[in-house]
Amino acid sequence: MVDYTSLAQTVAALTDGEVDAVSLMATVACEVHHSDDRFNWTGFYRVVAPELLKIGPYQGGHGCLVIPFARGVCGAAARLEETQLVPDVDAFPGHIACASSTRSELVLPVWGKSGKLIAVFDIDSDLPDAFTQQDADQMAQILKDVFGKI
């Protein structure tokens, strides 16, 4: 399990003073990805146009390049602006299988200082039911602390 206190401190130290969203995304994706063996793919999908996400910085195998808000777990997180905690991706209507090995997923909306949705943060696991509400809550706080400043 993730030591969220340590992860939050590390991310805060590495991102202190940085205002470039892509640099921040790259750093967060790397640190989160390596913080827990449950995390098989960790990355951002950036809002690049109305109702459209494109892949941003990530760790792991190839991801989908483009995801409309109308499709998949990432699209649902963006469209609803709500965290998606999915214990079984095969049971999620419209799931997009960017990697056939993915069994569960946690996707969180990412807002900038203005309150505008700038991305979603996607964490995939090859394990079923890999994520907890604590994971969702702690990751949301880390994202708020990092991206709420830009």
Domain ranges of the chain: 4-147
pLDDT of the residue at 98:
86
Closest Cα partner for 124 from 27, 11, 29? 29
CA distance 13 to 139: 16
Query: Helix, strand, or coil here: 117?
Result: strand
- Quote the DSSP letter at residue 114: T
| The CATH fold of domain 4-147 | Beta-Lactamase (3.30.450)
DSSP characters for 43-67? EEEEEEETTEEEEEEEESS---SEE
- Name the CA dihedral angle for 77, 81, 87, 90, rounded to a multiple of 10 degrees: -30
Amino acid identity, position 5: T
Q: What is the pTM of this model?
A: 0.98
pLDDT by residue for the chain (150 residues), tens only, comes to: 899 999 999 999 999 999 999 999 999 999 999 999 999 999 999 999 999 999 999 999 999 999 999 999 999 999 999 999 999 999 999 888 888 899 999 999 999 999 999 999 999 999 999 999 999 999 999 999 999 999
The answer to whether 132 and 106 have CB atoms below 8 angstroms apart is no
